[in-house]
Amino acid sequence: MTEQAADDLELVRRAAVDPQAFGTLYERHVRRIYSYIYYRTGNHHDAEDLTARVFQRALGRVGDFRDQGVPFTAWLYRIAHNLVANWHRDQGRRPTVPLEDYAVSALPGNHPEAEALASEEQQMLLAAVRRLPPDRQQLLILKFVERLSNAEVGEIMGRTEGAVKSLYHRTLTALREEIVRVQTETGSSTPSESEA
């Protein structure tokens, strides 16, 4: 268990009676939970709403949290995952991602055409990610946005490290096939191909 995870557990024990302890936990985790929900929902408005609900639920149930070897972060991610799943069920649709929501980074100079193309490519990739099953989306967000190891992802998803590794490779293969399918339909290419 990492030092922060142990410290989190101590804060969790105090949080049931001490609001400031919960405030510290909140400060530590709000950004990563927000980021996770943002990628799952595709817009800031719903990300803010659901992040608030995650922490409200955590606050209401923090007294019930028991140390069973699962870090507090994993517990928060599970709440977020369940709320996002409910949100998708209620919405009954796959949300589209507003183009302006994604910043185009690492572009040499101000080239509007290049920026537009890069943004289009990002959109295509994000749309392909969102068409994956929820557990695979979760895996990619935890791996790439949060930069978590397979073991850490496994704690959050309730799987073994080996199962996460296997799911990761299946996810990348499925994502690549989805991208190829979209490319075939639209006649576009990927950045890596363009740079080649």
Partner 1 sequence: MTVTGRRTRLSIEQLEGWLGNVLVPVEPSTEYPRFLRARLVTFRGQGLPSAWVVVAVLGTTVLLAAGAVGFALRVLLSLFGVLALLSRRSRGAGMRRQTD
Query: Cα–Cα distance between 114 and 8 in angstroms, integer?
Result: 44
Please report how close the Cβ of residue 192 comes to partner 1 at its closest, in angstroms.
Answer: 4
Please report how close the Cβ of residue 103 comes to partner 1 at its closest, in angstroms.
Answer: 9
Please report how close the Cβ of residue 49 comes to partner 1 at its closest, in angstroms.
Answer: 11
Where does this chain bind partner 1 (CB under 8 A)? 19-20, 22-23, 26-27, 30-32, 34-35, 38-39, 44, 47-48, 51-52, 55-56, 59-60, 102, 105-107, 113-114, 117-118, 121-122, 125-126, 129, 140-141, 144-146, 169, 172-173, 175-176, 179-180, 183, 187-196
Residues in the chain, overall count: 196
Please report how close the Cβ of residue 38 comes to partner 1 at its closest, in angstroms.
Answer: 5
Neighbours of 34 (CB within 10 A): 19
Q: How many angstroms from the chain centroid is the CA of residue 93?
A: 18
Q: Which residues contact 86 (CB under 8 A, 6 or more apart)?
A: none
Assess contact for 139 and 171: CB atoms under 8 A.
yes
Which one, 44 or 94, has the nearer CB to partner 1? Answer: 44
Which one, 121 or 155, has the nearer CB to partner 1? Answer: 121
Nearest to 9 by CA among 51, 60, 65, 54: 65
